Amino acid sequence: MSFPLVLSAVVAGLIGFSLLRGAWPNSVAYGPYRLVVAALGVGIGLGMTSLGLFAWLLLAGTASRGLIGAELGLLGLLSIWLLQRRSRRGYGEGLGPTARTPQEVWTWSVTVTFAVTVCCAVAAFIGLSISQPHGGWDAWMNWNLRARLIFRSGPEWRDAFSALLPWSHPDYPLLVQTSVVRTWVYHGRETLAGPAILAFLFTFATAALATSAVAALRGRTQGMLAGLVLLATPFFIFHGASEYGDVPVGFFFLSTVVLLALHDRHREHTSVFAGFAGLTAGLAAWTKNEGLLFLIALVCAWAATGLQAGARRELGREARSVALGLLPLLLVIGLFKLHFAPPNDLMAAAEAGKTLDWVSDPRRYALVAQAFTTQITSFGFNGLISAVWLLITYGICVGVRPEQVRNRWLFTIVASVGLMLAGHVVVFVATAEDVARLLNSSLERLLLQLWPTVVFAWFMVLATPEEAAQRDAERRPAIAS
């Protein structure tokens, strides 16, 4: 690991952190969210610097080292902005002290297991990156290949999106590919450590965000349990190390959901979190085409829940904030899709007039339904139990916290995830020539994209061990009497 590579990660992280910290509203205490901001800062920083590299390609004509100076200049400006706002002090609504558990031994066990799992997951990630330094199949067929094409083509970088290589998905959005190129610009030449460090940052920033956000909003033990499940999910670490785009897009799904939860909690004081949710939803769309589906599902679900709650005026205010973060990203994505990317291969197949035959074939629906059922129920199997059954069983054991179930953001997320799964079903049924092969190669990855969001939402809704124990203790005398 060279110093320039570390610098590329640090600069990206600091840019993201400075943006969030600088925009942090006075009315919301910063302290409880310190780790949330750090984890969000890593992903947002990588997203912003990816956009910066794309802009640099357009303006300078090649991925040159001048980019580093521009990024350091931007970081300097952000630092000045932060210093100017340093005198601010959030009075903070406070999140309330985390209830001390009467079962200290369990808290201690969770803390130790969490720490051990973090260490083991990091070691496994490094081991996997050493075993397959080029990443998995899609990494060298698509993500890292595209990065090579951009980096090696110099001023002719537009050739990287040639329709002559349709199997390499040249229409995919560019966050991962340009981020890999960016690490090589810092390093001065190609290195396999570039995509590996990027994959590491997204994987562990996702785990850190899920852990810290649940910890800040529901308590420390609950946060560690969420992080524990995520880091112990085999496919999360395996696939994270494969250098695909699924874990990064999952990070931005989770970021958007966390920011919506923050918005829900602090909406009376600020709409900054809604703006950042727009930004991260846009970055999801800049990462993978599934991000566009997420964006549509989220907007529909958010509007529907807002209208149902009869909050039209508030919805308008939120829409303006979300648009502020989202619109610049949509412009960039539109520019890329209209001027650089060839048509999507699935869409191209759909245009061939086969769609009508496919959507009227009941066998395709049966195949898709069977694959979804199997994959969902076995997702995260580690030799003991699937992670889905684990969460359901654990949920039955501790029960839900009724106040959490009534939150608007939760309705939005449940509806969004439902719409996304429905969207995936439509794509499989209506656009895939060989639906069995596509299901086999992509369904588990699509579920992985949503997994951090599901884990976060689940632990937000469930009672904490402390709350469940207290509820049990209160019930016992009632039953005894």
Partner 1 sequence: MRVTRIQVGLLLLLLYAAVSDARWVYRAVRGVADAARDDPITTYERRFRELRHALPSRGVIGYTSGVQPEVFSSEDFRRFVLAEYSLAPLLVLNDTAPELVVGNFAPDSVPGRPPPGFQLVRDFGRGIWLLRRAQ
Q: Which two tokens stand for residue 480?
A: 């005894």
Q: How far is CA 176 from CA 173, 244, 283, 360, 421, in A?
A: 8, 8, 11, 37, 23
Give, rounded to a whole angstrom, the gap between the first and last alpha carbons of the chain: 66
Cα–chain-centroid distance for residue 289?
14
Task: Considering the complex, state which of residue 153 and residue 442 has its C-beta at the smaller distance from partner 1.
Answer: 153
Task: Considering the complex, state which of residue 20 and residue 63 has its C-beta at the smaller distance from partner 1.
Answer: 63
How many other CB atoms sit within 10 Å of the CB of residue 325? 22
Please, what is the minimum distance in Å from the beta carbon of residue 434 to partner 1? 13
How many other CB atoms sit within 10 Å of the CB of residue 407? 18
Task: Considering the complex, state which of residue 81 and residue 140 has its C-beta at the smaller distance from partner 1.
Answer: 140
* Helix and strand counts by DSSP (H, E) for the chain: 22, 0
Task: Considering the complex, state which of residue 58 and residue 469 has its C-beta at the smaller distance from partner 1.
Answer: 469
Task: Considering the complex, state which of residue 144 and residue 270 has its C-beta at the smaller distance from partner 1.
Answer: 144
Task: Considering the complex, state which of residue 18 and residue 178 has its C-beta at the smaller distance from partner 1.
Answer: 178
Please, what is the minimum distance in Å from the beta carbon of residue 436 to partner 1? 14
Phi first, then psi: what are they for 400, rounded to 5°?
-100, 165
Please, what is the minimum distance in Å from the beta carbon of residue 452 to partner 1? 16
How many other CB atoms sit within 10 Å of the CB of residue 175? 30
In whole angstroms, what is the distance from residue 232 CA to residue 118 CA?
Answer: 9
> Cβ contacts of residue 70 below 8 Å, gap of 6+?
52, 56
Task: Considering the complex, state which of residue 153 and residue 404 has its C-beta at the smaller distance from partner 1.
Answer: 153
Please, what is the minimum distance in Å from the beta carbon of residue 248 to partner 1? 20
In whole angstroms, what is the distance from residue 320 CA to residue 32 CA?
Answer: 27
Please, what is the minimum distance in Å from the beta carbon of residue 232 to partner 1? 4
Please, what is the minimum distance in Å from the beta carbon of residue 156 to partner 1? 6
Q: What share of the chain is helix, strand, coil (3-state, %, to 5)?
A: 80, 0, 20
Q: What is the contact surface with partner 1 in residues (CB under 8 A)?
A: 103, 106, 109-110, 113-114, 116-117, 120-121, 123-124, 126-134, 137, 140-141, 144-145, 148-149, 152-153, 156, 159-160, 162, 164-165, 167-168, 225, 228-229, 231-234, 237, 382-385, 387, 390, 393-394, 396-398, 465, 468-469, 472
How many other CB atoms sit within 10 Å of the CB of residue 278? 28
**Beta-strand (E) ranges in 161-247?**
none
Task: Considering the complex, state which of residue 297 and residue 432 has its C-beta at the smaller distance from partner 1.
Answer: 432
Please, what is the minimum distance in Å from the beta carbon of residue 171 to partner 1? 16
Task: Considering the complex, state which of residue 232 and residue 261 has its C-beta at the smaller distance from partner 1.
Answer: 232
Please, what is the minimum distance in Å from the beta carbon of residue 459 to partner 1? 11
Q: List b or e across 336-369, with b for residues whose CB sees 16 or more CB atoms inside 10 angstroms.
A: bbeebbbebbbeebbeeeeeeebeeeeebeebbe
